[in-house]
Amino acid sequence: MRMTVIGTGYVGVVHAATMADLGHEVLGTDIDEERIAALSSGTPPVYEPGLQELLQRTVASGRLRFTTDVASAARFAPAHFVCVGTPQQPGAKRADVRSVEAVVDALAPHLGPGDLIVGKSTVPVGTAARLAERLRRTAPQAGLAWNPEFLREGFAVQDSAAPERIVVGVTSEHDEEVLRELYAPMLRVGVPFFRTDPSTAELVKVASNSFLATKISFINAMAEVCDAAGADVIMLAQAVGADSRIGPRFLQPGLGFGGSCFPKDIRGFMARAEELGVGGAVAFLDEVDAINTRQRTRTVELTGRLVGGSFADANVAVLGAAFKPDSDDVRDSPALAVAESIRRRGARVRVHDPEALDNARSAAPGLQYTLDVPKACEDADVVLHLTAWPEYRAIDPAALAPLVRRPTVVDARHTLDADRWREAGWSLHAPGRPQPGE
């Protein structure tokens, strides 16, 4: 089938390439000309494992093309996936849906009977209904559905090709049929398909992200209690997670969540619930947010104690800038926030990251950056392990020790081999875990 994808951020590009790989003829559009030029030659706009290969394969097949002309895209296909961003409004918790509205307005005059707009962007519940009303004025015979996206950065290609579920919020049999046909190869291999109304589909997305964020903040709250009680949050998480009703995933304590989704989605959800008069029902998300932010402050405070109470003249090495491993995304990155906060307090901070340095440099130009781990750690008074890149686990602590001023490391992600670092002479601090001898 023919389809378009409007907005070529990480969701849009991955969706477009995945659908072309399934055999559809896909036209991707974006207002960013440079991005469209790069995509047309098979270069992805973001670092995402497997994406470059997938993009090159589908562009070479001729089934995936890109344009900046939304009007020609509108005429190209009967189904249009909207994948534009919905950022948090500055100074408010609410999501900004103006880009989604603009896309619907741009498509509407070109749509005919049976044509379908499918929203993928994360939006406040009720947006689809409002947009459908707007669409009825210019394109009364076109449909509007909501089909949230659950892919994770770092696993986007595999999540998109083999999703755990497909959720479609539709208002007609016809619209459901179009989506069933587009996803037919996935449905044939048994991917669960949930047909709902558009409001439920919109809510599935924010409810899922809220649940996951709550699970992370729950275990981080337990880490704080463990610190106060001299208990071990890693053992606690393993034993609690062994209950199959709870499960071990998203129960990893550490520096907390970041990225472009969880923080903004839980805030947007609270704002929308308040508008609906049910703010109290999700007021706990404020606490989830506060616990999450506190993990950053706790790490800064711990670092302050480890450098003797004053950051002036301290050298701090930071391992990791991305909000999580296998991503070059630094949006609301806990690692970068900690690094910046320490720099503002007067320390010299040198940051290493294998993929995110370009993005980090433009987001936080005051920090020093290097692509070399030993260089980042040279003369450091403390080394902070803030993003769980696998290569940090492979660091030889014995080889690193002679380079630093003091062999002190904070493992804020709990993925370093603590025994190995301690045997190599390091003082290793892991929030939520007792120090040996405590």
Provide the Cα torsion 172, 178, 180, 184; round to 10°.
Answer: 170
| Binding status of residue 151 toward ligand UGA by CB under 6 A | yes
- The one-letter amino acid code at 321 reads A
| Binding status of residue 381 toward ligand UGA by CB under 6 A | no
Sole binder of ligand UGA in the list 66, 76, 146, 262 (CB under 6 A): 262
Counting residues that bind ligand UGA (by CB under 6 A) gives: 22
Edge-first strand order for the sheet with 382-385 is: 368-370, 348-352, 315-319, 382-385, 408-411, 427-429
Nearer to ligand UGA, 257 or 269 (CB): 257
CA distances from 225 to 16, 291, 383, 397 (A): 45, 12, 24, 29
| Binding status of residue 47 toward ligand UGA by CB under 6 A | no
Helices (H) and strands (E) in the chain, counts: 19, 14
| Binding status of residue 150 toward ligand UGA by CB under 6 A | yes
Distance of CA 349 to the CA centre of its chain: 25
Is 261 among the catalytic positions? yes
Sole binder of ligand UGA in the list 152, 294, 345, 420 (CB under 6 A): 152
Edge-first strand order for the sheet with 143-146 is: 64-67, 25-29, 2-6, 79-82, 116-119, 143-146, 166-169, 193-196
Sole binder of ligand UGA in the list 16, 142, 251, 412 (CB under 6 A): 251
Task: Report d(CA 389, CA 47) in Å as an integer.
Answer: 14
Rounded least distance, CB 302 to ligand UGA, Å: 17
Residue 337 in contact with residue 367, Cβ under 8 Å? Answer: no
Nearer to ligand UGA, 260 or 315 (CB): 260
Name the strand (E) or helix (H) holding 81: strand 79-82
Which of positions 208-227 make contact with ligand UGA (CB under 6 A)? 209, 212, 216
| Binding status of residue 252 toward ligand UGA by CB under 6 A | yes
| Binding status of residue 157 toward ligand UGA by CB under 6 A | no
Name the strand (E) or helix (H) holding 369: strand 368-370
Residue in 83, 226, 261, 377 annotated catalytic: 261
Please identify, among the stretches 107-115, 151-159, 269-277, 310-318, the one whose residues bind ligand UGA according to the rule CB under 6 A: 151-159
Rounded least distance, CB 123 to ligand UGA, Å: 12
Please identify, among the stretches 15-23, 69-77, 97-105, 251-259, the one whose residues bind ligand UGA according to the rule CB under 6 A: 251-259
Please identify, among the stretches 138-146, 254-262, 367-375, 419-427, the one whose residues bind ligand UGA according to the rule CB under 6 A: 254-262
Number of Cβ within a 10 Å radius of residue 410? 25
Residues involved in catalysis:
261
